[in-house]
Amino acid sequence: MRSYSIQEINEVINGVIYGSTSQSITATEQLEKATTSEISFIGNKKYEKYWSASNASIAIVNEDISIEPGENRAFIKVKNADLAMSQILALFAQPTPIFRNDIHKTAIIDETAIIGEGAKIGAGCYIGPKAEIGAYAVIYPNVTILDESTVGINTIIWSGTVIRERCHIGNDCIIHPNATIGADGFGFRPCTEKGLVKIPQIGNVIIGNGVEIGANSCVDRGKFSSTILGDGCKIDNLVQIGHNSKLGKFCIMAGNSGLAGSVTLGNGVIIGGSASIKDHTTIGDGVVIGAGSGVTGDVPAGKTMLGYPAVEARDALKQWAILKRMVCATKK
């Protein structure tokens, strides 16, 4: 079991130690559950009240903390406790699953596929014709990568993922279990003779560098051209990205949110959980869409939107306050 003194921990995050403790730290834990050998953190002043009841010996805290650590306890003050804690979590992270052989004997790899130096491919994987796997990529068991698709350097693809034909994933990406990249877009048109006629989806998906896609999320291929995710986008579990949508750099989509077809997101857009965006809508740089909101039209850069249909946050809050007063008045 690995253990660290407070001085060794502080060498990693370069904070300022307040208080003192000789307790060695063997793990991380939230305040309410921490034992004396575990380190925790206080990322917001509203959680200060939980410190006195916690058994943690050390906490990573923001510089504006207003309480004292107490006897044989210590704080490490930093500018951003959340970011510092991410470094501490990396210290205690367990090793990833072991590959005893770089390429498992049960993996099926087409003879025309290109496998980069140091890449690892697990049991039961299928790598199709003319597919390319970048150097040091890790493909966990039971992944399917179809014809002419590419996976970048150092990218990690977890079990159950399907990457359909001609899709391209950049370097340093993480694709979590059972994600689907490049399924057909949802395209049908009514026909009096045939009912609903399927529109062929002949485009692909292009994913930039440093993108993370959560478990069971779907990124549909374009009807023509490409569905595009820019560098650094972070996609949560159970997210739907419709065909021909285009995400700028560093966008965030929380769980159960969705984009209909041909949605355009600028850079740094944040979409809350269960929010939905209408097709052919453009969302400007830095927009925040609140959880559960429904966006039915274009949104200029920098706005925060709430509600269904979504309006500017301050207008939504006023509407809710008026409605609440009206409901209360009817009860009198």
Q: pTM score, two decimals?
A: 0.93
pLDDT tens digits, 219-229: 999 999 999 99
Q: What is the DSSP string of 301-313?
A: TT-EEETTTTEEH
Residue 243 annotated in active site:
yes
Contact (Cβ atoms closer than 8 angstroms) between residue 277 and residue 216: no
- What are the tokens at 291? 């959880």
**How large is the average pLDDT for residues 208-216?**
98
- Angstrom CA distances, 322 to 76, 292, 316, 327, stand at 45, 20, 10, 9
For residue 20, name the pLDDT band (cuts at 50, 70, 90). very high
Q: What are the start-end ranges of the E strands in 30-109?
A: 38-42, 58-62, 74-78, 108-109
- Angstrom CA distances, 70 to 19, 23, 34, 61, 128, stand at 7, 14, 16, 14, 61
- What are the tokens at 276? 């939905």
pLDDT tens digits, 265-288: 999 999 999 999 999 999 999 999
Which amino acid, residue 108? Answer: I
- Domains in the chain, ordered, with CATH? 6-92 (3.40.1390.10), 164-305 (2.160.10.10)
What confidence score (pLDDT) does residue 232 get? 98
Is the pLDDT at 327 greater than 90, yes or no? no
pLDDT tens digits, 60-111: 999 999 999 999 999 999 999 999 999 999 999 989 999 999 999 999 999 9
Is the pLDDT at 4 greater than 80, yes or no? yes
Is the pLDDT at 208 greater than 80, yes or no? yes
Is the pLDDT at 330 greater than 90, yes or no? no
- What are the tokens at 130? 């003319």
In the set 104, 168, 176, 243, the catalytic residue is: 243
Is the pLDDT at 329 greater than 90, yes or no? no
pLDDT tens digits, 33-58: 999 999 999 999 999 999 999 999 99
What proportion of the chain, given as a percentage, has pLDDT over 90?
Answer: 95
Edge to edge, what strands does the sheet with 180-183 contain? 108-109, 126-127, 144-145, 162-163, 180-183, 218-220, 240-241, 258-259, 276-277, 294-295
What confidence score (pLDDT) does residue 305 get? 98
